[in-house]
Amino acid sequence: MGPSTVTGSEEPGSPRSGDGVACRYGAFAADGTEYVITDPRTPRPWANIIANSRFGLAVSQSGSGFTWVDNSQLAVITRWEQDLVRDCSGKFLYVRDAEDGALWSLSPAPTWPTYDAFACRHGLGYTVFESRLGGIAGRWTLFCHARETAELWLVELANLSDRPRALEVCAYLEWNCGVAPSPRREFSKLFLENWYEPERRAVVARSHMWEVPSVRYGHWNTSFPYVAAFASSQPVAAALGDKEAFLGRYGTAVSPDALRVQAWVPAFGRHGDPIAALRSRVELAPGESRVAGYALAVGSTAEEVGELAARTREPGNMTTALTDVRRAWRERLAAHRVSTPERSLDYIVNDWARYQAISSRLWGRSGYYQQSGAFGFRDQLQDAQVWLTIEPQRCRDQIDLHAAHQFTDGSVVHWWHPLSEQGHATRMTDDLLWLAFVAAAYLRETGDFAILADPAPFLDESTPEPLSEHVMRAFRRAFSRIGPRGLPFIGAGDWNDGLSAVGLAERGESVWLAHFLAGLLADWSEILRRAGAPEVAAEFAARRLALVAAVNEHAWDGGWYIRATLDDGTPLGSAASPAGKIFLNAQTWAILAEVAPPERAAACMAAVREHLVTPSGALLLTPAFVEPVPEIGYITRYAPGMRENGGVYTHAAVWAIAAACKARDHALVGTLLTAINPALKDPERYCAEPYVLPGNVDGPTSPHHGRAGWTWYTGSAAWLHRIVCEWVLGVRPEWDGLRVDPCLPPAWRQAAMVRPYRGCRYRFTIERDPTLPEGAAPRLAVDGAEIGGNLLPVPAAPGAAFDVVVRCR
Ligand code: GLC
């Protein structure tokens, strides 16, 4: 170990600024960009998903987790078992006192020691474990390099006691090098190989088989295309490569046999259960501290990975690399910020939700509840909206990538895996239309019509066609699936995956899809008009009118819109339905897509308030299905009140906030924003992380009403940012400029936002003015001068800055 460069400046457990929003397990610290957990026994694992665009790791407050490259399901480097109750599986760092044999870990897992002081700091791009035990202070920082395929550990130990200490440090991980989860270890280890390179202080691993179906190579007849290396910056006293040799027969990670034995038999090769264990000795005088580095690197050859590990494992380089990562996140999110009276909402909207959308959803495509790796056709397109105001080119790239996953008949794969390009073709009816939705959002934000010419191939035709053609084929395909009553078929599901059997015979209809399509037709008739295609623009406008008429003729249930009809014509989401009497999306999107005439809009929002709004957010439907209904689909098979089956499905609950804004219901906006804010929850009931959004919260039919789950891996994160900025603060791009139309919760007197628009910088100060008449449009002053109306025109040239003061009701 070298001399320490970054030793403990504060006591473990002390949030830095002390101004954070706290609960009994931890608090936001600094400027909200760190969440500091001081009691590691959180009700569920509280994780961090740390990634660059190719490589990443998931780590919980216990220290458990895993590492991947390029695909968090097909190319998982280290083993992990998804057991969120024990949460004791992953990569560990042990410290052993060589004199008295005391053994502990620098994160709670796997030894769960009683620390004298403890903090786990989850930050944007890194996690730090700080501990103090028996006079030894430890700090273990984990992060991934901003650009390289390397996970880095910066480890600092300080002797706070008044006697010299002889310690051993041992780093441990299990190699997976392939598809995960991989429960058939006895099979997969037959192909793994590891070896030790003493001059590089690195254990290297690879697999001679990759369990990915590939027509190209023949069944399973290909090697895992990566080599991994785990290297230490400090002299290695001993290295070990086999799990049984490390743990001992029937041993456990809590007290591995090997840590009590001095001489290690290396046990590398092709015939064991491959791990990497690296042990080093550290002698510390009283008051002395040391720092060491470990790198877990991935590359295409042993030579390349050895070089990468050697280059990145040095603590000096690592400190610079960590500074880079933190700077990159700060800069990435800097241009668009909000400030509201609710500080925890600012922390989430400004930093955590966008970090969640980028790190977990777009780059890692993994959470702690779901290791996906795939691109969902509709999912990552929606997530890519997070780039619109800060790096729109990345949204454009995502749109082009999805366009290339369409067939010539306009249909698309529901998801596909990068690396294997294995995709899932379904009869879901909405996926293909999200291409049009996100392309329209990109066009409204940027005005960059050149995107329409972006070339992309089809899955079944390699000749590229422009994006506009891809979008047209999606529309034409959707038009071909409109039934005799003028409503679209639901097929194997629409946005709601669980409505998987409603329309398998192509007779059942989707009312939500009708709303969605009607909104898209309005957008695209405008886009086509501007792009010089007036006839198609007129056709789309006419189709929209017909669709709106059909919805209002056939889908109004009396008090709200039904959600769908089954193949036999039975309505779903009707007051007459035995379960699922009212569905949220059928109401909120009737408002968002302007399908509902004013009196129906008022009625269906009133129904949402009466039947669906709970203190945990708006339910996706009520009442929940209690028995499986095969004619409806797997939504009915979830436990009642869970996920889509009558839970708060955060993705849709966030859309409800936009609808409440559009309906100008300030009180409901306030209720719904508070209801879904994870930082304002009682963790004993809510259970999940206070700093990121969950996929769902149990509804009232569950005995655990208010319990959150499926955190990180949810499309609600990108949407929350967009909706708070565009609907609550009300600054949204339209075709001819920025509309300013806030709908603040009643308790808010003011808010502020800075955001870029067409190369200029806009600073908004929003003030509530109760003297304005109810329903009055907000008053705007730009650089001190009042303007008429509430539309800021497209700026004449980039590079300017505008100060906009908004007075609103
Ligand atoms: C999951 C899917 C998403 C879908 C949602 C609702 O989050 O990834 O595509 O829209 O469930 O069923």
For 508-562, the pLDDT digits (tens) are 999 999 999 999 999 999 999 999 999 999 999 999 999 999 999 999 999 999 9
Residues 6+ away with beta carbon under 8 Å from 519: 589, 592, 593, 594, 595
CA 473 / ligand 1 centre spacing (Å): 23
- Over residues 74-79, mean pLDDT: 98
Tell me which residue has tokens 């067409």.
758
CA 379 / ligand 1 centre spacing (Å): 7
- Beta-ladder partners of 104: 95
Backbone φ, ψ for residue 678 (5° rounding): -65, -20
Nearest Cα neighbor of 122 from 226, 264, 26 is 26
Structure confidence at residue 7 (pLDDT): 36
Q: Is there a contact between 724 and 345 (Cβ–Cβ < 8 Å)?
A: yes
pTM of the model: 0.97
Instruction: Give the number of the atom of ligand 1 that is nearest the alpha carbon of residue 495.
Output: 10
Task: Please write down the long-range contacts of 315-320, taking CB distance under 8 Å and 24 or more positions apart.
Answer: 315/2, 315/5, 315/154, 315/233, 315/291, 316/5, 317/293, 318/152, 318/154, 318/293, 319/5, 319/6, 319/154
For 577-593, the pLDDT digits (tens) are 999 999 999 999 999 99
Nearest Cα neighbor of 66 from 155, 182, 154, 168 is 182
Task: Please write down the long-range contacts of 195-201, taking CB distance under 8 Å and 24 or more positions apart.
Answer: 195/241, 195/268, 195/269, 196/239, 196/241, 196/266, 196/268, 197/229, 197/306, 198/236, 198/239, 200/229, 200/231, 200/306, 200/309, 200/310, 201/231, 201/232, 201/233, 201/234, 201/235, 201/236, 201/278
CA 76 / ligand 1 centre spacing (Å): 24
Nearest Cα neighbor of 709 from 672, 678, 754 is 678
For 250-295, the pLDDT digits (tens) are 999 999 999 999 899 999 999 999 999 999 999 999 999 999 999 9
Structure confidence at residue 774 (pLDDT): 80
Residues 6+ away with beta carbon under 8 Å from 305: 204, 227, 228, 229, 297, 298, 299
Min mean pLDDT across 32-41, 208-217, 445-454, 723-732 is at 208-217
Backbone φ, ψ for residue 597 (5° rounding): -65, 160
Task: Determine which residue's CA is closest to atom 1 belonging to ligand 1.
Answer: 497
CA 253 from centroid of its chain's CA atoms: 30
For 349-387, the pLDDT digits (tens) are 999 999 999 999 999 999 999 999 999 999 999 999 999
- Beta-ladder partners of 656: none
Structure confidence at residue 9 (pLDDT): 41
Tell me which residue has tokens 């406008």.
541
Is the model's pLDDT at 5 over the cut of 80?
Answer: no
CA distance 538 to 526: 9
Backbone φ, ψ for residue 130 (5° rounding): -115, 135
Tell me which residue has tokens 């961090």.
48
Nearest Cα neighbor of 256 from 90, 85, 96, 59 is 96
**b or e along 70-84 (b: 16 or more beta carbons within 10 Å of the residue's beta carbon)?**
bbbbbbbbbbbeeee
Backbone φ, ψ for residue 625 (5° rounding): -75, 135
Query: Which two structure tokens, joined as six digits, stand for 809?
Result: 């009701």
Residues of the chain with pLDDT > 70, as a percent, come to 98
- Beta-ladder partners of 461: 458
For 597-654, the pLDDT digits (tens) are 999 999 999 999 999 999 999 999 999 999 999 999 999 999 999 999 999 999 999 9
Instruction: Give the number of the atom of ligand 1 that is nearest the alpha carbon of residue 649.
Output: 6
Residues of the chain with pLDDT > 90, as a percent, come to 95
3-state secondary structure of 700: coil
CA 416 / ligand 1 centre spacing (Å): 15
Min mean pLDDT across 203-217, 658-672, 743-757 is at 203-217
The H helix count followed by the E strand count for the chain is 18, 44
Nearest Cα neighbor of 804 from 783, 776, 786, 787 is 783
- Over residues 446-475, mean pLDDT: 98
Residues 6+ away with beta carbon under 8 Å from 63: 90, 91, 92, 93, 105, 106, 107, 108, 109, 120, 129
CA distance 20 to 524: 45
Structure confidence at residue 30 (pLDDT): 76
CA 636 / ligand 1 centre spacing (Å): 15
Task: Determine which residue's CA is closest to atom 6 belonging to ligand 1.
Answer: 496
CA distance 508 to 532: 36
- Over residues 758-768, mean pLDDT: 98
Task: Determine which residue's CA is closest to atom 10 belonging to ligand 1.
Answer: 495
HEC assignment per residue over 346-372: HHHHHHHHHHHHHHHHHHHCECCCCEC
CA distance 382 to 388: 11
HEC assignment per residue over 489-508: ECECCCCCCCCCCCCCCCCC
Pocket-forming residues, ligand 1, beta carbon under 6 Å: 376, 378-379, 495-498, 644
CA 376 / ligand 1 centre spacing (Å): 9
Query: Which two structure tokens, joined as six digits, stand for 673?
Result: 């924003």
Out of 414, 651, 655, 716, mutate this one to test ligand 1's pocket (max ligand atoms within 8 Å of CB): namely: 651
